[in-house]
């Protein structure tokens, strides 16, 4: 007799094994009883025949409730009609931990209630499916970059200067050195590392004190940020479309079961292949105006407008070369139109909006210094960053892909907060 995982039962048909897990559902006819057990690797139906087991095992079985943790022993049988394809002819049952009145029953619960019980809600089938898709996305990100020779460089979370914009910083006291900020991005450090290693990426949690309560915003989210020396803005978009296509293909290939559990229309993902359509900001504004949207050149493109633009295509679309005034200080001025910068957003279809922001970086010392001053930032805090333009400046570009937005899109879930195990939002710090 041995302890095995449900996911590993294929080699155990005919053997007697013990499985440890949690009870999801039970039913009994009086003579035969069933329980579905899950252990994180799969689901297993256990069958118990009253006349064939000791009385105390039968009685204990009748007392099982949702989420009781158990060790079940029995013979493994192939059973194509069962979830997972196997069944356990139960002969032994040990209750490890009771579960009285588990708060999340199969009936419908409100969103607020579910989020209050996020630590338990994670066990539900949909949430498990989302977690597995997320895991695949993260692994695909790392594999793609590894295969292409990118070096992972971990950048600091406590930082001394603003990375992205002043409006949504979290700050904390830092000993005698004044304020430290939780990183909004690892990019600036990534640029330094790109000068050492050529192609790098950083991948970690990033923080934005977003006051907005939209379905696309978290205050803590995970971002992967590749940074590449000697790459221009066009090459940057090519890298992005290959990256996204690879991630989506991996999820389709390896997480088909989970996407089915989530009832995702995967035909909408199958069309996600490079190249992606490209639309200049100027053309995007012209199109939106022609569709009756009330916005002028220079305005930011909001979530609703992103949805309108993206819904024209069956795959993500790039909007490139935004006005300088609405973008971050580090983006390179467009030599063909100095009102704009060499930047791009990548908008996912089906209303998911911006999943990537990227740009070519300003590589001229004087221009960058002027931008830093223009944005009201303290040049002293960026002395090290300016050094990158002083000692062997180099054309370089990079981008940041938001993991939760990407996962929400691939899973087809309406709100980003289910794409991370414990979401942090303006009104949520518990659990
Ligand atoms: O602000 S970004 O557009 N760009 C950067 O941070 C650059 N420093 C990236 C770079 O070039 N290395 O954010 C990038 C992505 C954006 O497209 C979203 O997918 C995601 O990060 N993002 C967010 N996800 C969830 N919640 C919030 N608040 C959020 N903000 C950005």
- Ligand 1 neighbourhood includes 224 CB (under 6 angstroms): no
* Digit-coded pLDDT (tens) for 225-276: 999 999 999 999 999 999 999 999 999 999 999 999 999 999 999 999 999 9
Gap between the Cα atoms of 121 and 358, Å rounded: 35
Beta strands 16-28 and 69-78, pairing class: antiparallel
Residue nearest to atom 22 of ligand 1 (CA): 402
C-beta separation of 330 from 368 below 8 A: yes
C-beta separation of 254 from 139 below 8 A: no
CB atoms within 10 A of CB 326: 13
- Ligand 1 neighbourhood includes 186 CB (under 6 angstroms): no
In this prediction, the residues of the chain whose per-residue pLDDT falls under 70 are 1-2
φ, ψ of residue 337 in degrees (nearest 5):
-160, 90
C-beta separation of 241 from 406 below 8 A: no
Q: According to the model, what pLDDT value does residue 210 have?
A: 85
Residue nearest to atom 2 of ligand 1 (CA): 357
Length reported for the chain:
431
From 223, 229, 276, select the one nearest 416 (Cα to Cα): 223
- Ligand 1 neighbourhood includes 129 CB (under 6 angstroms): no
- Ligand 1 neighbourhood includes 357 CB (under 6 angstroms): yes
State the distance from the centre of ligand 1 to the C-alpha of 401, rounded, in angstroms: 6
Report the residue among 221, 326, 418, 423 best suited for mutation to probe ligand 1: largest number of ligand atoms under 8 A from its CB: 221
Q: At what angle do helices 233-254 and 125-147 cross, to 10 degrees?
A: 140
Q: Which spans in 148-294 are helix H?
A: 187-197, 233-254, 256-261, 267-270, 281-290
* Digit-coded pLDDT (tens) for 162-210: 999 888 999 999 999 999 999 999 999 999 999 999 999 999 999 999 8
pTM over 0.85: yes
State the distance from the centre of ligand 1 to the C-alpha of 263, rounded, in angstroms: 28
C-beta separation of 412 from 368 below 8 A: no
**DSSP helix/strand/coil, 153:** coil
Q: According to the model, what pLDDT value does residue 107 have?
A: 86
**ω into residue 431 within 30 of 0, thus cis?**
yes
In the 8-state DSSP scheme, what is residue 172?
Answer: E
Structure tokens at 100: 């009285």
Structure tokens at 14: 């005919």
Gap between the Cα atoms of 228 and 235, Å rounded: 10
Gap between the Cα atoms of 389 and 365, Å rounded: 5
Locate the ligand 1 atom nearest the alpha carbon of residue 416 and give its number: 25
Report the residue among 356, 402, 416, 423 best suited for mutation to probe ligand 1: largest number of ligand atoms under 8 A from its CB: 402
For the chain, the straight-line distance linking the first and the last C-alpha, in angstroms and rounded, comes to 39
Q: According to the model, what pLDDT value does residue 2 have?
A: 58
Strands (E), 16-119: 16-28, 32-38, 43-49, 69-78, 86-97
Q: According to the model, what pLDDT value does residue 382 have?
A: 97
């Amino acid at each position: 007799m041995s302890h095995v995982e449900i996911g590993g039962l294929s080699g155990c048909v005919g053997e007697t094994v013990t499985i440890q897990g949690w009870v999801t559902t039970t039913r009994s006819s009086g003579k035969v009883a069933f329980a579905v057990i899950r252990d994180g690797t799969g689901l297993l139906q256990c069958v118990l025949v009253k006349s064939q087991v000791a009385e105390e095992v039968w009685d204990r079985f009748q007392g099982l409730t949702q989420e009781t943790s158990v060790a079940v022993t029995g013979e493994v049988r192939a059973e194509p009609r069962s979830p997972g394809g196997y069944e356990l002819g139960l002969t032994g049952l040990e209750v490890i931990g009771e579960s009285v009145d588990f708060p999340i029953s199969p009936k419908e619960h409100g969103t607020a209630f579910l989020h209050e019980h996020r630590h338990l809600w994670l066990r539900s089938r949909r949430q498990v499916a989302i977690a597995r898709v997320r895991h695949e996305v993260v692994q695909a990100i790392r594999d793609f970059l590894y295969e292409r020779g990118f070096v992972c460089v971990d950048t600091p979370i406590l930082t001394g200067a603003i990375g992205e914009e002043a409006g949504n910083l979290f700050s904390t006291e830092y000993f005698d050195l004044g304020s430290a900020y939780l990183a909004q991005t690892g990019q600036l450090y990534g640029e330094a590392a790109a000068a050492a290693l050529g192609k790098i990426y950083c991948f970690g949690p990033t923080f934005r004190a977003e006051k907005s309560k939209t379905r696309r915003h978290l205050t803590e989210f995970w971002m992967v940020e590749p940074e590449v020396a000697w790459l221009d803005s066009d090459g940057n978009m090519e890298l992005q479309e290959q990256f996204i296509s690879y991630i989506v293909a991996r999820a389709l290939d390896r997480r088909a079961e989970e996407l089915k559990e989530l009832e995702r229309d995967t035909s909408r993902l199958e069309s996600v292949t490079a190249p992606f359509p490209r639309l200049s900001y100027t053309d995007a504004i012209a199109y939106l105006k022609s569709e009756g949207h009330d916005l002028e050149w220079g305005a930011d493109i909001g979530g609703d407008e992103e949805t309108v633009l993206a819904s024209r295509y069956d795959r993500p679309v790039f909007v490139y070369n935004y006005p300088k005034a609405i973008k971050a200080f580090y983006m390179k001025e467009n030599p063909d139109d100095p009102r704009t910068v060499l930047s791009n957003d990548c908008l996912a279809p089906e209303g998911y909006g911006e999943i990537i922001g990227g740009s070519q970086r300003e590589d001229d010392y004087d221009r960058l210094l002027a931008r830093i001053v223009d944005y009201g930032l303290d040049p002293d805090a960026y002395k090290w960053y300016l050094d990158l333009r002083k000692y062997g400046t180099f054309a370089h570009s990079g981008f940041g892909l938001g993991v939760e937005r990407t996962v929400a899109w691939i899973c087809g879930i309406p709100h980003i907060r289910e794409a991370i195990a414990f979401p942090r939002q303006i009104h949520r710090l518990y659990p």
